[in-house]
Structure 1
């Protein structure tokens, strides 16, 4: 089984230049240390300030550990400092992950 997470966070469009280095650090640290299969973040080209996330985790336990990893609290603080106004994430269990 794998866990697939789809999410988004909304920032004021004018702060994205300041958010990007922190977002890049979050993605890099997660990919290096948290045991994920895939971890991606991208700005929506049609909706300035909206960052979309896609994640694949081998297990619920690794997803839970990621949420408690040392680099997550600083990211959440930065997001709050830069005015994140929406945060929506949904996790799905994928019992037969495959490419289509």
Structure 2
């Protein structure tokens, strides 16, 4: 299997938007420096500021799994415990290249 695309939707509790956003922002530089990371882009919905989306591309699923087991993600999970209403992650493959 080749390149892996990840689309992750994070929906913060209404009173925890700023906390979740600040913790998500902390992940960016560290993740972009990881082996296998092609891009790691955070988005925030214009009409629903509680809805965040990461669009990521990885050289392989195994390198993405290494990322998922890194300490900075564990730290994020601890910092945002109880602050996120919904988290949906999709592993996807590009089909038009």
- TM-score of the superposition, structure 2-length normalised? 0.86
Q: Which residue of 1 aligns with 2:46?
A: 45
Q: Deviations over 1:27-71 (max 9, x none)?
A: 111112243001111111111201111000000110110000111
Matches within 5 A, 1:1-100: 1-81=2-82, 83-94=83-94, 97=97
Moved over 4 A (4+): none
Show structure 1 runs of 5+ residues with no match: none
CA RMSD of aligned residues (A): 1.7
For 1:28 and 1:12, the matched residues in 2 are separated by 25
Aligned residues: 96
Q: Deviations over 1:5-33 (max 9, x none)?
A: 11201102332223332211111111122
Show structure 2 runs of 5+ residues with no match: none
